Structure formats: structure tokens, C-alpha cells
Amino acid sequence: DPACEGCERCGEHVRQLPGYGRSAHLFVAPDNSLEQLRRRALDDGLCLLVPSFAMRRGFVRLDPARVPASQRELAATLDGMERLGEPLSLAALRDSPPVGMFITGALAVTRPGRHIGGGQAYLDLEWGLLCERGLVGATVPTVAVVHGCQVLGGGPAPGPLDCPVDIIVTPDGATPTAGDFPKPPGLGWYRLAPSLLQPIAYLRERAD
């Protein structure tokens, strides 16, 4: 998702959320709009779990103890995170600490709490994989960072396997969504297109 004017203010609003300060580990999507937030989180001493592009190489862990301050700006980028982070196998992911906050961008988000992406359902896939391994669950806050023009007043509710949004953050502040939708308990295998299974190693291994 593209960076927007005021992204740096969005990051500051996220950092003021109660769950942020209590979270030693965060999931942060690889969206361009979240690059500055990833950098600030590393400076705050937080470990980040970031999906690689299109989940082709799974998740990467960025540990500030292993990333020198001089390289954190690079580590916060999509290319840099794979050079400076630790790629996680499915087994390593299973042994990872739980995630305290789940942060994503979006093409749009509705005030009731529906996340609208590019149609590939990567966010639902990422949530489902982490949920199956006990790293996220019903009480983990989901946060969408967008510009105000990306916030829609209404629309259909999230489906049973869609990851809903609890908090919408724009350059103007953070607002809880109006809905109270349950979060998916895992992967919806019947929804996964066969074309996803081959390129995503996690899914090939998990399907086996």
C-alpha cells in the first residue's frame, strides 16, 4: 500500500496506543505506508515479525538487538528486511514469542472494521498462519494505518475468515472501529487458491 502524506503522524499515533508499549513483539505488514513505523519500532527496542513480499519467503524477524542503529532505516524497507532480518521456517515460527499487536496498511477500511486489500487475501493468510501457531488470537488488537480518504463509512461486514480491524489510525488520530467482529481461528483452507500452495513454502509444508 502506498505511503501517504502524514504517515509519520500515523506512526506516532500507533506508538501511543496502550498495546504498543506492552508489546515486545509486533506484527507489521510490509506496506510502504508502514516503513517509518517499522523504523521507530526498532528504535523502541521491539522485535518485528514482517511477511516477505507475497509471502514467498515466509516471515522475517527483525530483532533490534541484531540490527545496528545505523542499519535500521534500511532494515525497515521491504528489501532491507530480508538482508538484515532472520528468515523463519515454519518450525521456527511455531517457537516464536506471541505477537502483542497486529498492524497493517490497507487500500481501504470501513468504520465497522472491514479491511479491504488488493484481493489476494494475504492479510487473512498471515493472520491464519500465526493464529494456528498460537502467536495471535482473539484479544490481539488489529490496527489499520491509512489516510482519512481511505476510510469508508460502511459496507459489508467481514466474513468469518476475514481478519477484522479493531482500530483505524489516520494522520488525525486513532479511532476504534464500530464493529465487534470475531477474529478467524486459523486458516480457511477451502478459500486458498491452488496457485498459492506452490509458491508459498509455508502452505506447501502445512498442506503436507
Q: What's the grid cell of residue 199?
A: 509458491
Alpha-carbon distance 127 to 102, whole Å?
9
pLDDT at 76: 96
193 confidence band (pLDDT: 50, 70, 90): low
**Percent of the chain predicted with pLDDT > 70:** 91
Give tens-digit pLDDT for 130-171: 998 999 999 999 999 999 999 999 888 888 888 999 999 999
Helix axes 7-15, 35-43, angle to 10 degrees: 40
CA dist 73 → 29, 42, 155 (Å)? 16, 9, 37
| 84-114 pLDDT tens trace | 999 999 889 888 999 999 999 999 999 999 9
Q: Tell me if the pTM is above 0.85.
A: yes
Average pLDDT over residues 123-127: 91
Q: What is the mean pLDDT of residues 114-137?
A: 89
For the CA atoms of the chain, what is the radius of gyration? 16
